[in-house]
Chains A and B, each alone.
Chain A
Amino acid sequence: AQTVTQSQPEMSVQEAETVTLSCTYDTSESDYYLFWYKQPPSRQMILVIRQEAYKQQNATENRFSVNFQKAAKSFSLKISDSQLGDAAMYFCAQIISNFGNEKLTFGTGTRLTIIP
């Protein structure tokens, strides 16, 4: 069974600074996908970034990047030049590449506060 752990319930960062959110996961599968979703107060789940496990190169989307350490089963999210609009809950999630297993496993989330 897959598990996803986010050990930081809350984080805060000064506006324009950089923050890193941690995520570790556990799976016996070798082919899977990892995601970071953002949930602002509106509750909408918004995809921030995705990473394919078979790709060694870390994914990047504008100010968002990941540090994917497959051997360590670690998948952290780095937000550069933090903006007030980045304030939200951030969820790490994993799904294995196996049609028949449709479970997207989520962590418990990290609440990010941006300090003006």
Chain B
Amino acid sequence: NAGVTQTPKFRILKIGQSMTLQCTQDMNHNYMYWYRQDPGMGLKLIYYSVGAGITDKGEVPNGYNVSRSTTEDFPLRLELAAPSQTSVYFCASRASAGISTDTQYFGPGTRLTVL
């Protein structure tokens, strides 16, 4: 299993541009998450999904959108990039059945800079 994969690894955007951060997991996990990590801070939840077709806001959803058309994919969309969205973005997933359903597994992250 590749686990949780994210693309791209790095990206520089200009203010007002849009982009989609991709996240895919091959563990058949129902739950998926997007976090952002600002310098010197822990992770904050942006959006999450409990299954295909179901999404919900986390702690810091403003300026972002998500969709979940398949179990495997959970893309994060930035519509009008702002400097405040400069951060490292992590995708995570967890199982809803079986052992260790409380544990989230993280992708390698995407470093986004908005200039």
Contact = CB atoms under 8 A, between A and B. Distances in A.
B103 A103 contact: no
Given A33-B102, A50-B102, A97-B102, A102 B45 contact: yes
Interface of B: 31, 33, 40-45, 48, 50, 56, 58-59, 88, 90, 92, 100, 102-106, 108-109, 111
Interface residues of A, number: 25
B42 A109 contact: yes
A104 B104 contact: yes
User: Interface on chain B toward A: helix, strand, loop, or mixed SS?
Assistant: strand
Interface stretch (A12-20, A41-49, A58-66, A77-85): A41-49
Contacts of B58: 102-103
Given A45-B90, A102-B50, 18 more contacts: A35-B103, A44-B108, A44-B109, A47-B103, A47-B105, A50-B103, A52-B102, A93-B42, A95-B102, A102-B33, A102-B45, A102-B48, A102-B56, A103-B45, A105-B42, A106-B42, A107-B42, A108-B41
